[in-house]
Structure 1
Amino acid sequence: MGASIAVAMAIYGLPAVDLHPPLHRLGIMDPLCGGTRAARYAAQGRFEDAWTYNPLGIVVVYGALLALLRAAVGLVSGRWLNVALGWTPRRRQLAWSVALLLFVALEVRQQLRAELLIAGT
């Protein structure tokens, strides 16, 4: 579903519906700001533009592509690629800490680009 939305945006453009939260107009960005434009640019292969708006756009579009590729290979071959992680309490704490740190870094990055993110709306 998400991959088909990205392809549709790459072909037809951004949605006409305003997807911004209320604080956006006050200049307060969230980590997802610019994600729609970034997904569109990533689907078009314009990685520099996608990265400029939000690096998560690249991750989401190509993560969806990998999931579709995994499903296609699994359906054709009958064998599914599975990854199992051994979650010890320490690894879980480390994963959550890294995720939180990346989330905060993305929030700061997006707030520093508020002028760019507001300009296209």
Structure 2
Amino acid sequence: MPTATKPFLRLRVEPVDRHRWLTAGAVLALAAAALMAAFGLPPVDLHGPLHMLGIMDPFCGGTRAARYAGQGNLAEAWRYNPLSIVIVYGALAAVARAGLGLVTRRWLTLTIGWTPARRRWVITIALVLLVLLELRQQLRADLLMAGTNTWP
């Protein structure tokens, strides 16, 4: 007799917001992107010591990329760090979800049906993507090291 497996992703509508933390983080991320889009990069150096030695990490270029994503310039955002596009527009989707929930009093809730095998697959895929992003960013070290402090 086959056993029923729970779905990997499930979208439900609920009467309460179970993800307030997501909305708060999304608002902060969008505020940072909007401020950088309007006023430029922060006047402080956010890089670690390895950056100055030419060793990039997967998040290098993220600040400049978030600024470009906030300006809607996705080509430049992708050039610096594609992860920022996911973060900025994911934050926008989270804030839109919260706005819709506030208006309708119904909250879209995405749940993940974790099993040990699914958890291993997701962790493996995430690690492979992180390594690929690290390699990509290291290949762009010249771009990422150039002009890191620009404040209009």
State the TM-score, normalizing by the size of structure 2.
0.78
1:68 is matched with 95
Q: Find the partner of 1:37 among 58, 61, 64.
A: 64
Q: Distance in 2 between matches of 1:107 and 1:2?
A: 22
CA RMSD of aligned residues (A): 0.6
2:24 is matched with none
Q: Which has the higher helix share?
A: 1
How many pairs does the alignment contain? 121
User: What's the CA shift for 1:12?
Assistant: 0.5
Matched, 1:103 2:138: no
Q: In the TM superposition, what whole-angstrom CA distance separates every residue of 1:33-85 from its partner, at most 9, and x where no partner exists?
A: 00000000001010000000000110111011011001100111000001122
Unaligned runs of 5+ in 1: none
The percent of aligned pairs where both chains have the same amino acid is 63
- Structure having greater relative contact order (Cα 8 Å, sep ≥ 6): 2
State the TM-score, normalizing by the size of structure 1.
0.98
2:105 is matched with 78
Correspondence 1:14-29 to 2 at 5 A = 14-29=41-56
Q: Which has the higher strand share?
A: 2
Matched, 1:87 2:114: yes
Q: Distance in 1 between matches of 2:95 and 2:146?
A: 34
Max Rg structure: 2
User: What's the CA shift for 1:86?
Assistant: 1.1
Q: Which amino acid aligns with 1:47?
A: L
Q: Which amino acid aligns with 1:24?
A: H
Q: Find the partner of 1:11 among 38, 44, 48.
A: 38
Q: Which amino acid aligns with 2:71?
A: Q
Unaligned runs of 5+ in 2: 1-27
